[in-house]
Amino acid sequence: MSASTNATERAQARDPAAARRNVCLRLRVNGEELEAYVAPYKTLLEVLREDLGLTGTKHGCELGECGACAVLIDGAPVLSCLELAVQCEERDIQTIEGLARGTELHPLQAAFADLGGSQCGYCTSGMVMTAKALLDADPAPSRERIKEALSGNICRCTGYQQIWESVEEAARVLRAEKSEAKP
Amino acid sequence: MMRMPWFRWHAPKSVAEAATILADEGPQAMLIAGGTDLVPNMKRRHQEPAALVALRGLGELKRIANGAGLTLGAGLTLAEVVESRSVRENYRALYHAAAQVATPQLRNMGTLGGNVCLDTRCTYYNQSYEWRKAIDFCMKKDGETCWVATASKRCVAVSSTDTAPALIALGAKVRLVSAEGTRELDLADLYANDGMEYLTRRPDEILTEIALPAASGWKSAYWKLRRRGSFDFPVLGVAAAVRAAPDGTVEDARIVLGAVASRPILTKAGELLAGKRLTDEVIEEVAAKVASRAKPMDNTDLEIYWRKEVVPAFVGYALREARGDDMRATRMRIARQAL
Amino acid sequence: MNAPEKPLKTRFDTVGKPRRRVDGRAKTIGQQRFADDLALPRMLHAKLARSPHAHAAIESVDVSRAQAHRGVHLVLTGADFPIPYGIMPVSQDEYPLARERVRFVGDPVAAVIAVDEQTAAEALDLIEVKYRPLPTIASPEEGLAKPEPRIHDYGEQGNIHRNQAYEFGDVEEALARSDHVFEDLFFYEGNTHLPLEQQASLASIEGDGKLLLQTSTQNPHYLHRQLGRVLQMPTAHIRVMAIANGGGFGGKCDPGNHEFVVSKAALVLGRPVKICLTREEVFYQHRGRHPVLMKFRTGVTKDGRLTAMHLQTLLDGGAYGSHGPASTFYTGVLTPVSYELPRFKFEACRVFTNKPACGPKRGHGTPQPRFGQEVQLDKIAHALGLDPAEMRLKMLTKPDSLTASWLRIGSTGLGECIEKAVEMSGWKARRGKLGPGRGLGLACSAYMCGAGVSIYWNKLPHSAVQLLLDRSGQVTVYCGATEIGQGSDDVLAGLTAEALGIDPVSVRVVTGDTGITPIDLGSYSSRVTIMMGNAALQAAARVRDLLANAAAEALDTLPDRIAFSQERVFAVEDAAKSMSFVEAVAAAEAKFGTIASVGSYAPPKPPGKFKGAGVGPSPAYSFTACVLETEVDPATGWVTVPKIWIAHDIGRALNPVLARGQVIGSVYMGLGEALMEEQAFRRLPPKLSSALVHRNPSMLDYKSLTHMDMPEVEVALIEDPDPNCPYGAKEAGQGPLLPVMPALANAIHDAVGVRIDEVPITPDKVLAALAKKAKGEVPRVGPERFPAVPYPEPTFVLPPWEGGDGNELKGRKAA
């Protein structure tokens, strides 16, 4: 092997154990103020799943290459695997757990469940949250727009088509809800 | 789960404070903006900074100013750049480039400055620590040899930024701020053709803004070659900007090639095209000449000889679009979106 | 065993109606738990140290520094695991941690169990392993040429793992009297499953002192057996819970090193131990598509009927046996299922190489020869001036027939599939008329609905279901089958509900838990709907008899006049005589005691009696036809696929939403393989390095189609119920993948007149073929030679129509 010193030794020399202190974070997740005492190297993904018990957010690569970990921060879909948790204080974090209205599914959730948008379900959280941001911005997206908006989310099961159909159906339902809500 | 190593964390409130921290910490500190390049690299132990200095949240870096030209704060996300009306209407090459970086989520996080400073990439380098150990590492990190070209004295990792070729074609200048002061330079001069020392930026400098000259009379386009319609870094980027007289005679032109060297390649297209009209024949001739500058190495996706072979076609797409052709159908096939 | 229950109904409450899958709600609200979502108090975390060498002897392993690292609880090495394992009894060639030899970059050698993952990862770097590098083998050709050093000290000879040959009728004789003989070489690159969920496992000790392993596995039963063997424990003291898989596609069929490691660690430490593989490690676990080189020599009559085929395959097996013996068979055995083939000779050889082990991926061994077969048929049709669809329609295998190789074809809807795909795509009007650079390609396929024999030889049921009802009306159905996303839980609930006339939502499904559920062999070979389904219908029929008996008494009619529908039980002649399902259960419980039943299923005995006849037979075969449209840019070779039409013979669609999803998902994976997916390796310059590494072990570099790259797919489900299948339902999860790759190759030929005889079909290959065409050379890119493979003397069996009895004919060919 190479003469270069080993990575762990370098890390330890640089960073004696005494310096390894957890930090206390206050995060606003799904409207709730939550506190976590975490290692500062943790990404939002790790804190959500390991420290806050919100395992609905999944991970498929941890390198920003699959989209499974997408959550909304201040309404925009981002990858929680690349977002340092220490940067997330005072921001509005939304995860899949916060989407349903009590026991009633959000129209996106209902459509994904009914129309085959979810098979194994592992990409579903990231896909649904990303789709939510799309429908918030564009209540009647074209299929091309849907594909583009979801193009950062890999699904290995569905072949995507039933996902597009699910998003289109949810958009219809949401539009109908909105027009009913108007007097 | 891939995890970041331990690091010290700084969240300065201003660029000046960030510059001071950077000066104090020295080269063991790194800047982090969107994190979409640095975080995966740290997880794979490409970069192991002892300290991170966060630029997120610095309002100074998020400004968009319309003057004689357009000044873009380096901290604007790529999504914000894409949404800028001025970029969309007047600086099409930048729009095309920014809109095709990575994925929507990554564009919501990654910044313009981050994309301009994107680490060079190589299939022998962008791997985990354990993988790199299996090849006894490489010149760019922890090793001695360049496995792409074993006789090479320099690293040939590839410049993989989409926005830089577009910005250079549009004549961009950048501003660098450090505790010692401020300097401005042509964006083209920010780059060096060395996969390791690919930026002329000093470690204590912060890229704060990118300034584009007035766009009047210019038309531009950026074409990206990659395997899939999303996610992938370019294996070829062609940015073309052309200023033509009302009769179609080219007055000035720039063609910049991306992802075929360790820096974006500004070609001699201006000389080749000046005084000519963009006929199909001229485009074909210039495309062939420009393409000879592309020297792809076998360290990206897709087959090396093929990547070289298709350069003229992509230069042709960009020039035809800059000429004003409707290229949407071709774009749908190549980029999978009309843009 | 039990004959499958014949469909009793023609009108259905549940079957055939689109419905929310039973696990749909949990999956869309983030409540579905996958293995890495599980956490237990006092849980520790494991990481594996993996070999940086592709082939090396282990001289020593020093774990003392790692053991001393703060936060480390245990370090395990090969010394802790003396017993080998392997999914197949004939290939027990793996150790949880390598003992004397590492065989590929990524082979696990040690494990650290620590307080958290970061600490475990740090300690990995402190393990000192001394390796003595050995020469590496990167391809089967190299493995044939270099019998030494042997990667394993078992197998046929040198580095050949499996070598086999079968001949059904005198093939050379038939080829000699054919009007034409076509000889073609094809290559199919390896690729991997890439389930979005990385394998994770959590081992713990339950309150009663027994081991519990909660894990992402497709085959808890086989894993359970192997755990007992490796850990030297009675299997009754081990409980494996298959947690819902975040995708499998065959990648979670083999027992994984990590599963033994966390189990052992939990037993040593008495604390829960979890591991989750990184994405890169999932590429090393692999067990994916074998790279296969193929040679087809096919005889045809001048009107395009097959006379005989001689198929030779050479498989790159990777470093371990895995399912290899079966994979080797599957590169040939299903070839005769779709078209009448009077004589067939099949030779196959699997060679060990220093790369992650190949194994079963969706279509297991059959997509490779299917690609070659369907492209060659296209070439034959062109050479003979025939419409490729018409030519195929004239030589379809007949229902209830035998193949030359003694496979029994039951129902077949292939003709209808072809006609439907041709109709949907406008094949007749549009083919050849789409303009320059555009084309249509057609291909077909067949797949099995469950393997006829188990992976280990036994006479036991392949699937079993237990039903438990109580006076509250609750119906609980237990089965060892494993939900991997394909919807097996929904199939189980749907069939049970249909049989009992209740809503699927009323059925509680308990699956994939060896501690509770009766055995099902696992989610592989498209077997679950058929085998679990038949077992469920048998169990349901048994409780229905009890309920009908009790209800008849209460309703004053005869038990065989009782019907079950819409949560009610009533007399067929007078629907006013009825009671609720809940009342019927209570009545039955009062009359007979607790209401429960079991059902089980084993496939019919295969007709072939020769040794090796066990691979290929299935209770039923599904069939598919696909038409694919493409656009090829002549300047760059860039390939675009705007549309795909596919017709799949599913027998009956139990839940059309899921059935269609399986078909489109298969098309997706097939198109990815056709265009870009490849598990490729890189060898560094041998003078400077012995490295042999995976080129692209990441989600970014392993190219999986995104939303932007996926065309619209138009699906037709052809429903011709198969009597061997539950309510006639055949498989849909694998067969529809198979025709996509050859359909693309054939479409490209239609578009620009070049042949790409290998997969993936990348633009550089298309452009190279176009350049050859422009120069007047053979417009083809593909393998140029097939090496001399020392295949054995074939097992000779006469086809049924040549007087054979299904036994091997010793003493070679008949007169």
Q: What is the pLDDT of residues C267-287, one digit of tens each?
A: 999 999 999 999 999 999 999
Last residue within a domain, chosen from C601, C635, C663: C601
Question: Measured between alpha carbons, how far is B49 from C424 in angstroms, rounded to an integer?
Answer: 59
Taking an 8 Å cut-off on Cβ atoms, the answer to whether A113 and C20 are in contact is yes
* Nearest-by-CA chain B residue for A129: B105
Question: Measured between alpha carbons, how far is B17 from B20 in angstroms, rounded to an integer?
Answer: 5
Tokens (6 digits) for C702? 């392993």
Section C551-555 average pLDDT: 97
- Cα–Cα nearest to C424, from C628, C670, C661, C720: C628
What is the tens place of the pLDDT at every residue in C764-804? 999 999 999 999 999 999 999 999 999 999 999 999 999 99
Does residue A114 sit in the same domain as residue A177?
A: yes
Does residue A131 sit in the same domain as residue A173?
A: yes
pLDDT at A8 exceeding the cut of 60: no
Section C568-577 average pLDDT: 94
**pLDDT of amino acid B57:** 87
Asked if C403 contacts C337 with a C-beta cutoff of 8 angstroms, the reply is yes
Judge whether A45 lies within some domain: yes
Taking an 8 Å cut-off on Cβ atoms, the answer to whether A152 and B337 are in contact is no
Minimum distance, in Å, between the CA of residue B62 and any CA atom of chain A: 17
Interface mutation vs chain A, best among B55, B82, B103, B140, most A CBs within 10 Å: B103
Does residue C552 sit in the same domain as residue C664?
A: no
pLDDT at A2 exceeding the cut of 50: no
Tokens (6 digits) for C799? 């086809």
Across chain B, how many H-helices and E-strands are there? 14, 12
How many domains does the structure of chain A reveal? 2
Judge whether C40 lies within some domain: yes
Last residue within a domain, chosen from A98, A118, A136: A98
Judge whether C483 lies within some domain: yes
Judge whether C625 lies within some domain: yes
Does residue C489 sit in the same domain as residue C412?
A: no
pLDDT at A1 exceeding the cut of 70: no
> Is B131 an interface residue toward C (CB < 8 Å)?
yes
Does residue A157 sit in the same domain as residue A132?
A: yes
Section C171-175 average pLDDT: 98
Judge whether A5 lies within some domain: no
**pLDDT of amino acid A18:** 47
Does residue A119 sit in the same domain as residue A86?
A: no
Does residue C445 sit in the same domain as residue C482?
A: no
Question: Measured between alpha carbons, how far is B141 from A4 in angstroms, rounded to an integer?
Answer: 10
Section B118-133 average pLDDT: 98
Section C506-530 average pLDDT: 97
Q: At A183, is the pLDDT very low, low, confident or very high (cuts 50, 70, 90)? A: low
Minimum distance, in Å, between the CA of residue C513 and any CA atom of chain B: 26
Tokens (6 digits) for A4? 């270069």
Q: Where are the alpha helices (DSSP H) in chain B?
A: 15-25, 38-43, 78-83, 85-90, 92-99, 104-109, 112-116, 129-134, 163-169, 269-273, 280-291, 304-309, 311-323, 328-335
Of C703, C709, C764, which is closest to B306 when you measure between CB atoms? C764
Question: Measured between alpha carbons, how far is B115 from B111 in angstroms, rounded to an integer?
Answer: 6
Q: Which residue type is seen at B329?
A: A
Does residue C590 sit in the same domain as residue C629?
A: no
Task: Say whether B123 sits in a helix, a strand or coil.
Answer: coil
- Cα–Cα nearest to B137, from B259, B45, B49: B45
Question: Measured between alpha carbons, how far is C314 from C372 in angstroms, rounded to an integer?
Answer: 13
Asked if A67 contacts B105 with a C-beta cutoff of 8 angstroms, the reply is yes
Tokens (6 digits) for C670? 């097939």
Does residue A83 sit in the same domain as residue A133?
A: no
Q: Work out the widest C-alpha separation in chain B, in whole angstroms.
A: 61
Judge whether A13 lies within some domain: no
* Beta carbons within 10 angstroms of residue C386's beta carbon: 17
Phi, psi at B212, each rounded to 5°: -105, 140
What is the tens place of the pLDDT at every residue in A59-114? 999 999 999 999 999 999 999 999 999 999 999 999 999 999 999 999 999 999 99
Section C503-520 average pLDDT: 97
Question: Measured between alpha carbons, how far is C690 from C686 in angstroms, rounded to an integer?
Answer: 6
Strands C128-133, C56-62: pairing is antiparallel
> Is B108 an interface residue toward C (CB < 8 Å)?
no
Of B301, B305, B333, which is closest to C701 when you measure between CB atoms? B301
Section B44-57 average pLDDT: 95
- Could you list the residue range(s) of the whole structural domain that residue A148 is in? 107-181
Q: At C811, is the pLDDT very low, low, confident or very high (cuts 50, 70, 90)? A: confident
Mean residue pLDDT across chain C: 96
Q: At C814, is the pLDDT very low, low, confident or very high (cuts 50, 70, 90)? A: very low
Does residue A140 sit in the same domain as residue A174?
A: yes
Q: What is the dihedral of CA A141, A142, A148, A154, to 10 degrees?
A: 90
Tokens (6 digits) for C790? 């020392």
Of C123, C196, C244, which is closest to A68 when you measure between CB atoms? C196
* Domain harbouring A142, CATH code: 1.10.150.120
Task: Say whether C673 sits in a helix, a strand or coil.
Answer: helix
* Beta carbons within 10 angstroms of residue C17's beta carbon: 15
Does residue A89 sit in the same domain as residue A120?
A: no
pLDDT at B89 exceeding the cut of 50: yes
Does residue C533 sit in the same domain as residue C420?
A: no
* Nearest-by-CA chain C residue for B100: C708
What is the tens place of the pLDDT at every residue in C76-119? 999 999 999 999 999 999 999 999 999 999 999 999 999 999 99
Strands B8-10, A92-94: pairing is unpaired
pTM above 0.90, yes or no: yes
Last residue within a domain, chosen from C550, C577, C601: C601
Interface mutation vs chain C, best among B46, B100, B121, B130, most C CBs within 10 Å: B130
Mean residue pLDDT across chain A: 92
Tokens (6 digits) for C72? 């480390």
Q: Label residues C586-618 b or e (16+ Cβ within 10 Å = b).
A: bbbbeeeeebbbbbbbbbeebebebebbbbbbb
- What percent of chain C is modeled with pLDDT above 70? 98
- Cα–Cα nearest to B33, from B234, B206, B262, B264: B206
Judge whether A83 lies within some domain: yes
Does residue C581 sit in the same domain as residue C704?
A: no
Taking an 8 Å cut-off on Cβ atoms, the answer to whether C278 and B3 are in contact is no
Last residue within a domain, chosen from A98, A124, A142: A98
Does residue A154 sit in the same domain as residue A173?
A: yes
* Domain harbouring C527, CATH code: 3.30.365.10
What is the tens place of the pLDDT at every residue in C424-476? 999 999 998 999 999 999 999 999 999 999 999 899 999 999 999 999 999 99
Does residue C447 sit in the same domain as residue C374?
A: yes
* Domain harbouring A80, CATH code: 3.10.20.30
Question: Measured between alpha carbons, how far is B45 from B131 in angstroms, rounded to an integer?
Answer: 11
Section C73-77 average pLDDT: 98
Does residue C543 sit in the same domain as residue C645?
A: no
- Cα–Cα nearest to C334, from C617, C544, C663, C139: C617
Q: Which residue type is seen at B249?
A: T
Does residue A25 sit in the same domain as residue A94?
A: yes
Chains that touch A (3 or more CB pairs under 8 A): B, C
Question: How would you list the strands of the sheet with A76-79, edge to edge?
Answer: A32-38, A23-29, A92-94, A70-73, A76-79
Unique residue bearing structure tokens 């024949």: B281
Interface mutation vs chain B, best among C117, C125, C258, C278, most B CBs within 10 Å: C278
**pLDDT of amino acid C575:** 87
- How far from chain centre, in Å, is Cα C72? 38
Unique residue bearing structure tokens 């799309």: A134
Section B327-334 average pLDDT: 96
* Nearest-by-CA chain B residue for C635: B313
What is the tens place of the pLDDT at every residue in C341-388? 999 999 999 999 999 999 999 999 999 999 999 999 999 999 999 999
Judge whether A139 lies within some domain: yes
DSSP letter for each residue of B163-190: HHHHHHHTT-EEEEEETTEEEEEEGGGG
Section B111-136 average pLDDT: 98
Question: Measured between alpha carbons, how far is C638 from C765 in angstroms, rounded to an integer?
Answer: 10
Q: Label residues A92-122 b or e (16+ Cβ within 10 Å = b).
A: ebbbbbbbbeeeebbbbbbbbbbbbbbbbbb
- What percent of chain B is modeled with pLDDT above 70? 100
Phi, psi at C616, each rounded to 5°: 120, -40
**pLDDT of amino acid B93:** 98
Taking an 8 Å cut-off on Cβ atoms, the answer to whether C657 and A116 are in contact is yes
- Cα–Cα nearest to C474, from C497, C506, C510, C498: C506
Taking an 8 Å cut-off on Cβ atoms, the answer to whether B105 and A67 are in contact is yes
Strands (DSSP E) found in A2-139? 23-29, 32-38, 70-73, 76-79, 92-94
Section A156-164 average pLDDT: 98
Chains that touch B (3 or more CB pairs under 8 A): A, C
* Nearest-by-CA chain C residue for A146: C707
Does residue C437 sit in the same domain as residue C466?
A: no
Judge whether A172 lies within some domain: yes
- Could you list the residue range(s) of the whole structural domain that residue C660 is in? 360-452+617-781
Judge whether A148 lies within some domain: yes
Section C563-567 average pLDDT: 96
Judge whether C140 lies within some domain: no
Tokens (6 digits) for C770? 């176009």
pLDDT at B208 exceeding the cut of 60: yes
Does residue A41 sit in the same domain as residue A76?
A: yes
Does residue A75 sit in the same domain as residue A121?
A: no
The residues facing C630 across adjacent strands are C439
Question: Measured between alpha carbons, how far is C341 from C344 in angstroms, rounded to an integer?
Answer: 7
Does residue C88 sit in the same domain as residue C207?
A: yes
Question: Measured between alpha carbons, how far is C206 from C213 in angstroms, rounded to an integer?
Answer: 10
Interface mutation vs chain C, best among B4, B103, B227, most C CBs within 10 Å: B227
Judge whether A76 lies within some domain: yes
Question: Measured between alpha carbons, how far is B22 from C73 in angstroms, rounded to an integer?
Answer: 39
**pLDDT of amino acid B337:** 94
According to DSSP, residue C36 is labeled: G
Does residue A89 sit in the same domain as residue A113?
A: no
Asked if C641 contacts C671 with a C-beta cutoff of 8 angstroms, the reply is yes
Last residue within a domain, chosen from A41, A66, A98: A98
Does residue C574 sit in the same domain as residue C633?
A: no
Does residue C396 sit in the same domain as residue C481?
A: no
How many domains does the structure of chain C reveal? 3
